Amino acid sequence: MDDTDPRRSIPRTDRLLALPEVITAGEILSQSTIKAVISEVQSAARTREIPVAEVVPTIISRLSSRSASSLTPVLNATGIIVHTNLGRAPLSESAQQAVIDAAGYVDVEMDLETGRRSKRGTGAKQALLRACPGAEDALVVNNGAAALLLAVTALRGTKAAGRGGEAGAGSPIGGGEVIVSRGELIEIGAGFRLPDLMATTGSRIREVGMTNRTHLDDYAQAITADTASLLKVHTSNFRVEGFTAAVEIAQLRGLADEHDLPLIADLGSGLFEPDPSLPEEPDIAGALAAGADVVIVSGDKLLGGPQAGLILGRSDAVQAIAKHPLARAMRTDKLTLAAIEATVANTRNPVHEALHIDVDRLRDRTERLAGLVSGTVVGHDGRVGGGGAPGVPLPGWAVELPEALARVLRLGDPAVVARVHQGRCLIDLRCVPEHDDDRIAEAVNRARETTRRHLGGIEPGDARTDHLGGHGADHDEDGADRQDDAGLGDHA
């Protein structure tokens, strides 16, 4: 590097740290984070990615726009309500406030009247039991997969949860067979399979029936002295149609009683009671009434709360689970407990509202947006997502835009995640709060202008820009945008 090279004048780190704007950023960000940003910008200047004159303004811009977390808030314009890649259920305002209130010191395990230690999660449990009178007891753990693993481990025949027996007496750490229909051996998100989860408990999966047809006699013939429990899993992330047969919980109850076996039902999505808009989606109340000893659901799906595994059922069964040593490793924190309680206490939340949206109002909003961004209104079916109600369409509309805008929208401020399908960018407002409609419009128009500048004045969607849009009519850009990806198919 010779003496005339402008890179010799890249500001030193100590001088950059002394800038007033950088000192102000230090009120929110750690020094290690600030130094990392400075180093990145200095390196970019050394490699000529940015001019030396842009070092200071670039650092100030990055630090002023950076939050303490690397997570970026997004506007979900995909039409998928419980989108796994976007964090599943967005919390209601009351749940958000509950999390904020619980962020400091709270009486999570203290009775303020006596000053003595109390049980964790009492408020959340009471809220769950009020919402589901058919349950005698409830337990909250960190996610649905943990709830299933814990239930299968803790409930092992009459020694663990037999009706009228002493919960947990003499329960082994592992072993035994868990009987489950072959058609219910699902694979959840990221290639994680139910049999793999069961193997970690020390139990063995005993598959019965066929993929499409399983009968009560299949279960009966499989029961031996090694049988630990009967497991019923709702196949919430796929559907099998045609020549099919399955054994319902009520039928399995009689078999479980005959052999003194616990009956575990994993429903996945988390409806407390039947929902007319999802007629085939099982609910907790119905599963308990049918005879399940415990029912397992996720908190961040149709319930509309935070990530959690909810276990509801008979008191002796739930207590056997709660007293197992693994329960401590899987217990949840004060923030989750606060959010669960607030979510259950107030049934109105973003998931409920998106699922039961006024379709006429949705059409009006979509037409207004189309006018503001020069788009076209097209019919578009939303989805529950997160493994809930697979194949059930939620009729609605979307604004059709050129595919080239999708990436620009994702990288904009605000970040807007749209659906990319068959060479089109589709903006579905079902999951977008109405007060954010104008932000969507502004983001789309900025994205159009940005794309137009990069294309030298060519309008996005022109035939000359086809090479920027994807790989053909059936291409869905990025797994996060595709409705058949993890946003729809995750079970745990």
Distance CA 145, CA 401 (A): 39
Beta bridge partners, 141, equal 309, 331
- Is residue 378 very low, low, confident or very high in pLDDT (cuts 50, 70, 90)? very high
Closest-CA residue to 319 (of 118, 132, 171, 134):
171
For residue 187, what is the DSSP state?
A: B
270-281 pLDDT, tens digit each: 789 999 989 889
The pLDDT of residue 160: 41
Q: What is the pLDDT of residue 451?
A: 84
Residue with tokens 């009520």: 250
pLDDT tens digits, 203-254? 888 999 998 999 999 999 999 999 999 999 988 767 777 888 999 999 999 9
* SS (HEC) of 207-233: EECCCCECCHHHHHHHCCCCEEEEEEE
Q: Report percent pLDDT > 90 for the chain.
A: 69
pLDDT at 395 over 90: yes
| Mean pLDDT to the nearest integer, 428-448 | 97
DSSP codes, 107-172: -TTEETTTTEE--TTHHHHHHHHHH-TT-SEEEEES-HHHHHHHHHHH--HHHHH-TTS-TTTT--
SS3 396: coil
pLDDT at 183: 87
- pLDDT in the model for residue 361: 97
Task: Report how far residue 303's alpha carbon sits from residue 342's, in angstroms, rounded to the nearest whole number.
Answer: 11
Taking 90 as the threshold, does the pLDDT of residue 317 lie above it? yes
Q: What is the pLDDT at residue 159?
A: 43
How far apart CA 446 and CA 418 sit, in angstroms, is 15
Q: Which residues contact 142 (CB under 8 A, 6 or more apart)?
A: 307, 308, 309, 330, 331, 332, 336
Mean pLDDT of all residues belonging to the chain: 87
> How far apart are the C-alpha atoms of 404 and 415, rounded to whole Å?
15
| pTM of the complete model | 0.83
What is the phi/psi pair of residue 120, to 5°? -75, 140
The answer to whether 22 and 30 are in contact (CB under 8 A) is no
Between 210-214, 401-405, 452-456, the lowest mean confidence (pLDDT) is in 452-456
Confidence band (pLDDT; 50, 70, 90) for 461?
low
Q: What is the pLDDT of residue 71?
A: 85
pLDDT at residue 486, as a whole number: 40
Residue 306 near residue 122, CB atoms below 8 Å: no
Place of tokens 């047969």: 245
Q: 225-229, 301-305, 371-375, 452-456 — which is least confidently predicted?
A: 452-456
Q: For residue 468, what are the CA distances in angstroms to 409, 447, 471?
A: 14, 14, 9
Amino acid letter for position 345: A
pLDDT digits (tens, 9 = 90+) for 119-174: 999 999 999 999 999 999 999 999 998 999 999 999 986 444 444 444 443 344 44
Task: Choose among 412, 409, 406: nearest CA to 482.
Answer: 406
Spell out the alpha helix ranges (H) of 346-404: 350-355, 359-373
In 3-state terms, what secondary structure has residue 422? coil
Q: Calculate the dihedral angle through the C-alpha atoms of 89, 92, 93, 96, rounding to the nearest 10 degrees.
A: -50
